[in-house]
Chain A
Amino acid sequence: MSELERLQASCLYEIANCDSLKKLDMLKSAVFGKNGKITEIMKKLRDMDGDEKRQLGAAINSLKDEIMEKLDEKFYELEMQELDKKLASEFVDVGMPSRPNCFGKIHPITKVEEEVAHIFSSYGFAFADGPDVESEYFNFTALNMPDHHPAKTMHDTFYVHKLADENGRKLLRTHTSPVQIYAMRANEPPLRCFSIGRVYRSDYDATHTPMFTQVEGVVLEKNIGFSHLKWLLSDFVKKFFEVKTVQMRFRPSFFPFTEPSAEIDINYEMRDGKIIFGVGDRWLEIAGGGAVHPNVLKYGKVDGEKYQGLAFGFGIERLASLKYGIPDLRGYFESNERWINAFGFSHATR
């Protein structure tokens, strides 16, 4: 066995049996270091020449490569072993709870307002706004409800103390309809606009709260009539409730500001205490509307000979209750933690 062969055998044996990175490092220097075994043999080359030198040189190089490769393999193996050991010692019980999320909820009325606004925007309706503290003129007179009109008594109005101006006594608006007048006065027809807001009536029992939310819409265009209102409202209902078909019933009714007037019912069925829309033969009132009364057009400074008007309104709480199965009207305004957790929406829901 040549010297090289012995060196090869002993190195490979030692590498294979090495059990720590430290020892392997020492081993490496013992072979390749300044006074290492390979270095020692290399020194012998200095005294040789010719073929002998070339042959030995090639043999040494090949041995160097082989040992180097084995060393690298062993280094990798030992590093991996070491890492595994370290990681095993870093145990964390991931079954433990994470840090608490603390998100609030969005109120269902806000959610429904957004849904309704989205649908009406898609029809090209612009949003309009009006004040909660309104004058008698805009809340009643301009909507064709003169003093002592019997319909005024149906409204159970809250009046405001010691406030009056040229538009009469101040009150809390009983409906969002005054916005119709503002919109008509501020815009040239054709006009499509809607409003959503709080309204107030002096009524407080299981099915009434003194404050609630209405959505109101008005369209002023040439050549539009009742049949367009039928389409608009039924299309809205389908989109809002996300149903393909819905039967709607348009019933003649009376509102001072529309003529003809209609109340709109949709069909439903009760299944296990839940309301299912678009099926069944029971009816539920969800909206009112009609053709804008010529007197209202006059108050809105609209040319009634040239333009037709359509107007309609919904109760937001009713829409919310029906769509999301929210039972008690009062819950909306008590909004306690359990209620809001049950019926509120994540801030990320759109």
Chain B
Amino acid sequence: MRFSFNWLKRRLSTDLNIQQIADKLTSIGLEVESVENPALIFKNFKLVRIKKATKHPDADNLQICVVEDVDGNEANIVCGAKNARAGLKTILAMPGAVIPSSKMVIKKSKIRGVVSEGMMCSHEELAISSQEDGIVEINKDTDLSTPIDEILGYDVGILEVSITPNRGDCLSINGIARDLAAAGAGKFLQLEKTSCDSSFKFPININYENSDSCFRYAPVIAFQVIRGVRNGESPQWLKSAIRSAGLNSISMLVDLSNFWMIDSGRPTHIYDLSKIQGDVQIRFAKSREIFEDVRGNEHRLLPDMLVAADRESPLCLLGIMGGKKTACDENTTDVLLESGLFDPIFISKTGTLLNLTSDSRTRFERGIDRDSCISGLGGITKLIVENCGGEVSDILVVGTQPSNEQKIILKKSKLDCVSGCDNDWNEAKYFLKQIGVNEIRSGEFESTFSVPSWRSDLKIEEDLIEEVLRLKGYDNIPSKSLDIITAGRDRVLDKKNQILGIKRILASRGLSEVITYSFTKQNYAEAFKENRKLINLINPISVDLSVMRPSLIPTLLNNVVAALSYGQTNIGVCESGNVFYDSCQQELQISGVRLGNIHDRNWLEKTRSVDVFDVKGDILAALDYCKIDEKTISIVNSAPSYYHPSRSGAILSGKKELGYFGELHPKIKKLFGITEKTVCFEIFSSLLPLLNSKTLYFSGKVFPKITRDFAFLFSSKTSIGSLVNAIYRLDPIIKKVNIFDCFDLNVTLKSIGVSITLEAADRTLTEEEAQNVSEKIIKYVRSIGGELRNK
């Protein structure tokens, strides 16, 4: 809501200045977004009269003008405009003035050897749209003392206020002034209820479609006709008011309707009566009926939209926007005025379906003064008659005024409870009275109040409490501390912290955490969906952000691609976030992508490119953090299809998959335009167990370890991935199994070096026990086709 301070002062008698008013508005919940002062824009501009204009001695196109201001001060101005002439009143920018369009600062200068003490401005330079060339020509009757902003139609001091959706009543100067007055910022100068004496009978037929729902959506509409109006350009005061509200001046009738809407909060509609063919019907739209709005846009209407129509076509989408057909123009003489009451939800639905917004819709949606149909009509009629002349008909009212007055009981105890402090009961009642909420039944610390017709947002006791506290000022409510309580174990937070811990581990391994959007491109998502269904957005921001990611990898790869384009070569990123699939299944995962070398080149050791064992290490480090014993997991070659089929794996704990890792499949790299080897991993966080302190146990005793090394021969094709876990299972005293060597002996055989550490928790092992275990291991290896290598 934008309006000028001057306009506000027509409804509020106040000694406060614009900034004080702005602060007050914010403190009562009408948040001021900006305060701008057009008077400042025209600092160093003044109105002058050209006394004398003579030709420049050295330039054919220039004139030297002597101008004088209201006090008779003269200045010498060199001017190139053809219309500069003696006697013309125009606007002078003095040294120091900032030209609104170019932001150029005017300085005293010499033009072709002649001193010029400023510049006379054109419309364009003043940022006023106009067809006229040359410098601005001001009406010769204008007093030279008139402020520039007034002449140009700017009203001094503009306030922009953000009105919350519950405060439909404050989408008007009237409502804002009332609220300010209630908060002690001045005296409210209420709009007087006016009407004009009618001089003829309402001349046309208005037919209301006889349907209950029609009345439900539009319970009452009042009409009036004015004959013999003169439409035309708006007078200066109206233009400036309209412009201060951020609207364009169109014609007197349109401007008056807008002025009235902003002033009173009451939207009305003006039809050019001569363009209506036959009777007017208030009816539901016919299916697929076309309506051309006043802006010239066509809409295909649906049967549950309410229109005013003549016998040919819809004239107005009631409560939202008028039609082009009956729009007023400079030839309009007879007008039909309409002032209705429309159901907010109905207006909202219609507007949403047609994607049509308007000032009128905004007001009806948020609720206007229920009782303003007829008074609103009186107000606009009076404005039109005063400014455009004409004769007024009787008022025709269709439907019935709803009379459901809202009553609310407020208890002091509830007020004190919600506010958390003691309140002065009389002061509370006083504040309510100021905003028109009147006490109709009084009890001790409990009263019944009636809600005024313009505050449909006040429905329950809490609403009244907010009004009291708002006007009292939130800053006047004391602050009270909450009791400190200690919560028990918070497993949900533990889970969150577990994820954080994993990210710290990953960061310590060189992966930087990033956060990417949860949505991605269709084809990226497709590549990662496997046999799941994707979740698409109906109204995405762009096609690049239209599908919920089924994996973190595609959005991480997006980040990697961007990093590559910035010239980064060694990349390691990770993210924790939700992935989405099927019918809104979502799952928290942690993923990482590595590309390039493991670290920068350095003089101490050769660097190497990342490989699948880096990402396997990432997962195992995360699992280790979660106290998942390496012995309890197994690795199978069953990662999804976006991984390299023979350089990837799934990590299983029992039968549950904890994650995947591997090289990225070349087809995916191609899709993202990546040429470098890329490895990645995914961890499914929901399956990671939370740490439980009870499971941690250590006797404190240490017994000597025994270490044995073996060299085994296997066929080159044997996968020995499960060997380690299998050896662990052979005997509980096997505490550590480590493959320390692996090489191809020849084309068919490979040699695997295995180191075993034996340790018992309760005794020193004997040589015999060690020998026993060694034999078990050798026997096992034989059982899977391997053999002990002879020296």
Contacts and interface: CB of A to CB of B under 8 A. Distances in A.
B466 A261 contact: yes
Interface in B586-604: 586, 598-600, 602-604
B420 A228 contact: yes
Interface residues of B, number: 95
A264 to B, nearest CB: 9
Contacts of B500: 110, 114
Interface string A315-350: 000000000000000001111111010001011100
Interface stretch (B21-29, B253-261, B434-442, B709-717): B21-29
Contact of A228 (B481, B492, B496): B481
B477 interface: yes
Contacts of A148: 344-345, 348-349, 352
A250 B474 contact: yes
A161 B515 contact: no
Contacts of B76: none
Contacts of A172: 518, 537
A262 interface: yes
A263 B505 CA distance: 39
Nearest to A134: B584
Interface string B42-80: 000000000000000000000000000000000000000
Interface string A209-231: 01100000001000111111111
Nearest to B601: A100
Contacts of B470: 252, 260
A158 B474 CA distance: 35
Given A161-B538, A224-B420, A337-B566, A254 B165 contact: yes
B113 to A, nearest CB: 45
A228 B482 CA distance: 6
B586 A105 contact: no
Contacts of A161: 535-538
A106 interface: yes
B213 to A, nearest CB: 16
Given A106-B513, A200-B518, A226-B469, A126 B541 contact: no
B450 interface: no
Contacts of A204: 541
Given A219-B482, A334-B562, A125 B510 contact: no
A126 B507 contact: no
A135 to B, nearest CB: 9
Nearest to B415: A225
A251 interface: yes
Interface in B434-470: 460, 462-463, 465-466, 469-470
A170 interface: yes
B487 A107 contact: no
Contacts of A131: 578, 584, 586
B534 to A, nearest CB: 9
29 contacts: A100-B599, A104-B573, A114-B500, A123-B482, A131-B578, A131-B584, A132-B580, A153-B348, A160-B536, A163-B535, A163-B583, A163-B584, A170-B584, A172-B518, A192-B487, A198-B518, A202-B541, A225-B418, A228-B481, A228-B482, A231-B480, A252-B28, A253-B31, A254-B29, A259-B463, A308-B417, A337-B568, A344-B513, A346-B507
What 3 A-B pairs have minimum CB-CB distances, sorted nearest first?
A: A225-B420, A252-B29, A254-B164
Given A104-B509, A250-B475, 13 more contacts: A100-B602, A104-B507, A104-B510, A105-B507, A117-B496, A126-B493, A133-B586, A158-B538, A224-B482, A230-B477, A252-B470, A259-B465, A336-B559
